[in-house]
Chain A
């Protein structure tokens, strides 16, 4: 099978130009919340070639604000490549010379897959705030359906960072015979009260925006930009470390003069405004609410009386669990909880703690040791078939 393969010779390490595709699922899809979607679309991209045995497929799961565009460029003039281009491509840790990589926009997303922006066939209007609650378990189920469409009966690996890592963990639990390796990066087996608190602040910021209109902002022809911007600013601060913000911005001023205490704007303020504004232009508020709730509700041990060891007992995958020392949103201690449960459940697991300075965001950034461990692990996966 050919994926959205490069239509020009790829620059070194790049998958080149890629094209999203859409898979439509016309059967009713029952969600964990017991509501049913009459049909849904998933938008996805693929990189590399599926081998003869259909055994080299790697699923890349995205985090809170990610999407299907994980690598390469949609157009030659694109300023930025896909969100994990540092990691996916020929010769990169997720080597498209060895693997057939599948990346999708999750159900409930706002970049092409069925979500709050999509039209509800029952009403002819966008779902908006009425889009049902989706969970990590629902995502994994829909991803398995996409795998069926692509003719992939078993993934060589399912990989993800943060919320994406939670999907990899859920994959191993829900489809033990369809995943050979679960690569869980900067994630946790469930959110802490502090994590949920940050998400709730973000949600309140959106919901308190007068332009939110109780989620019916499409109908009101409005966008809760201020709320989205605030939500992103809060989130972004938790993704960085104190040190990395200090190194990058310190107390540098964008404008004004502290001496005269007039019209002062710090660089870090300007940066957060920029991040928040650009996010509010591209992201859907209802999707943000939905994604943060999926994060909050994630707790695969819940149906096993809160016992993660029992939740993992039926898994067959081998695990790679990676964390970053400067990550305080999902700290290494949270990854250790997963690792310790895997050991107690007698599962194969490798874990490494990467000394990278960029906080939670480290999982998206190139780092020599990070890529050495991830690439080395995946080399072994490719070697063992």
Chain B
């Protein structure tokens, strides 16, 4: 399994209820169901990925995240997971709030637009960045809300959501365990585990 999914898998308690937003081929959910007896559901809109889930026996629900998550009741899941999808939805800030309404905790991963390669391309070449972790051209990218790690942390701080855990992986999904102060420059994909906003 992909190392970022391994990090997530390790966090999930046996028998937990997990909602995976943009579950792809269902790799994480299949592993969680088999190894941890997790009651998991994936949300996906891509017919090819849905077919893969169906054939793998993964609970997949065809649903477009841009239609919101209003169909899921409050606190109906222990954990809501979204891997590398945040940057492609129409309202990432509203979606994170929704994830923490539905789930006690959420896990979000996304590519870092502040990686040095991105910065260099924009600064030196004056062109929109293209990198291994961000392979699309500006005109065909599904990533309409790219952000840097710093941007994201400002958002969750403004919302009062505690960061329970944070990891940064490099382009090969190798985990850089220590919180490198230069993560916003060198990290390609970040992993954040968030809790619910503490009422003030």
Contacts and interface: CB of A to CB of B under 8 A. Distances in A.
Interface of A: 320, 336, 339-340, 343-344, 346, 348-353, 369, 372-373, 376-377, 379-380, 384
Contacts of A340: 71-72
Contacts of B58: 350
A351 B62 CA distance: 6
B178 interface: no
A349 B59 contact: yes
Contacts of A339: 61
B113 to A, nearest CB: 33
Given A350-B59, A351-B62, A380-B54, 15 more contacts: A339-B61, A340-B72, A343-B41, A350-B53, A350-B54, A350-B60, A351-B60, A352-B47, A352-B54, A352-B60, A352-B62, A372-B51, A376-B51, A379-B55, A384-B57
B87 interface: no
B54 A376 contact: yes
Contact of A380 (B47, B55, B72): B55
Contacts of B41: 343, 349
A336 B55 contact: no
Contacts, number: 47
B153 to A, nearest CB: 32
A349 B42 CA distance: 10
Contacts of B50: 352, 373
Nearest to A343: B41
Nearest to B54: A376
26 contacts: A343-B41, A343-B61, A343-B72, A343-B76, A344-B73, A346-B17, A349-B61, A350-B53, A350-B54, A350-B58, A350-B59, A350-B61, A351-B60, A351-B61, A351-B62, A352-B50, A352-B62, A353-B62, A372-B51, A373-B50, A373-B51, A376-B54, A379-B55, A380-B54, A380-B55, A380-B56
Contacts of A373: 50-51, 54
Contacts of B39: 346
Contact of A376 (B55, B59, B61): B55
Contact of A369 (B17, B47, B59): B47
B18 to A, nearest CB: 12
Which 3 A-B pairs give the minimum distances between C-beta atoms? A376-B54, A352-B62, A376-B55
Interface string B23-55: 000000000000000010100000100110111
Secondary structure class of chain A's binding surface, majority of residues: helix
Nearest to B61: A351
Contact of A348 (B51, B59, B73): B59
Given A343-B41, A346-B39, A380 B61 contact: no
A336 B71 contact: yes
A350 B76 CA distance: 18
A351 to B, nearest CB: 5
Contacts of B47: 352, 369
A348 B56 CA distance: 13
A340 to B, nearest CB: 5
A340 B59 CA distance: 12
Contacts of A352: 47, 50, 54, 60, 62
A251 B133 CA distance: 53
Interface in B61-99: 61-62, 71-73, 76
Nearest to B71: A340
A181 to B, nearest CB: 11
Contacts of A348: 59
Contacts of B55: 376, 379-380
A372 B72 CA distance: 27
Nearest to A336: B71
B83 to A, nearest CB: 20
Contacts of A384: 57
A356 to B, nearest CB: 12
Contacts of B71: 336, 340
For A336, A348, A377, which residue has the most chain B Cβ atoms within 10 angstroms? Answer: A348
Nearest to A380: B57
A49 to B, nearest CB: 24
Nearest to A355: B47
A377 B47 CA distance: 14
A97 to B, nearest CB: 18
A154 B56 CA distance: 23
Interface in B169-194: none
Contacts of B60: 350-352
Nearest to A346: B39
